[in-house]
Structure 1
Amino acid sequence: MPITPQAAALVYRRPPGGGAVECVIVTANSGGWTIPKGLIDPGKSPRQMAEIEALEEAGVIGKAEVEPIGRYSYEKWGGRCEVEVFLVPLDRELDRWAEQATRERRWATLEEAAGLMKYDTLASLLREVGARFARGERL
């Protein structure tokens, strides 16, 4: 079974006035919700691709953490996609972006986002990260 590496961005913000950390989610091409992710372009690192996908798919800009926060996998294209997920603190949110016409963007708490995810493995990772933020861990 072929393995396809991908990179994803878990872009987050702390809402003004407090409350649970929120992350950006986008509609997936195959339906449902996901976080920005994609194939790794030649000459780019997974970390760079996470930032690029966040900009292209969700119109959000931030600097990805050096190491991935986690990984998940799913079946597609007759093989398995293995996705490295990078935390990306939000720097800017654009009003217009590359895939605006084909994707919806919204903000959700990590728990809410987990309930909307297509893949259980990604949902579990979002819940784990949400719990770590709630405990005040530095991520």
Structure 2
Amino acid sequence: MSIKTAVLIEQSGVIPYRIQDGQIEVMLITSSASKRWVIPKGLIEPDMTPQDSAAKEAWEEAGLLGKVFPDLLGTYEYQKSGYICQVGVFLMQVQAVLEIWPEASKRKRQWVSIPKAIKRVNEPELKLILGDLPNRFW
């Protein structure tokens, strides 16, 4: 009998936000394969901090440029290809939304309110992180 050890893959991601008419909006994107609503995230590049790596993912996956804050908002896990991915989540103040970006043909993106974002994402821990966002502003 063999025991399969779960492999944990560390990733980093951002919750991109803007203030629109006094309300916080976050940008969600679709995953490349299943078209679920997710946040920009990916493997932490070996030569980058988790924050810088997450900023790179926001550019590649969503066409967003901005300031990533240093504090970790929280973490969540999800399964992909038989592995467990643990995502460290950071807050990103969006400063530019590009019309052309590397994964534009693979993904949709949309600004949504926090309650709508909570309904759209699947991961329970990510829902909690999103729900706590207003406490960081007011």
Normalising by structure 2, we get a TM-score of 0.89
Q: Which residue in the other structure is 1:71 paired with?
A: 75
Structure with more strand by fraction: 2
Q: Which residue in the other structure is 2:10 paired with?
A: 5
Letter in 2 for 1:9: V
Letter in 2 for 1:119: E
Preserved contact between residue 21 and residue 133 of structure 1 (Cα < 8 Å): no
For 1:25 and 1:104, how far apart are their aligned partners in 2?
8
Preserved contact between residue 3 and residue 79 of structure 1 (Cα < 8 Å): yes
| SS, match of residue 54 in structure 2 | helix
| SS, match of residue 68 in structure 2 | coil
Of the two, which has the highest radius of gyration?
2
For 2:125 and 2:25, how far apart are their aligned partners in 1?
19
| SS, match of residue 101 in structure 2 | coil
For 1:98 and 1:75, how far apart are their aligned partners in 2?
25
1:39 pairs, out of 43, 49, 58, with 43
Cα drift, residue 111 of structure 1? 1.4
Q: How large is the RMSD of aligned CA atoms in angstroms? A: 1.3
Displaced runs of 4 or more, over 6 A: none
1:25 pairs, out of 25, 28, 33, with 28
- Identity across the alignment (%): 33
Q: Which runs of 5+ in 1 are unaligned?
A: none
The alignment status of 1:60 with 2:64, answered yes or no, reads yes
Per-residue Cα deviation, 1:66-85 (whole angstroms, up to 9, x for no partner): 12111111122323111000
Per-residue Cα deviation, 1:104-139 (whole angstroms, up to 9, x for no partner): 011001111110002222112111213x157x1xxx
Q: Which runs of 5+ in 2 are unaligned?
A: 1-5
Q: Which residue in the other structure is 2:89 paired with?
A: 85
Per-residue Cα deviation, 1:39-97 (whole angstroms, up to 9, x for no partner): 11221111111100111111111121112111111122323111000101111111111
Per-residue Cα deviation, 1:4-58 (whole angstroms, up to 9, x for no partner): 000001110000x32x200111001222100100111221111111100111111
2:128 pairs, out of 124, 129, 139, with 124
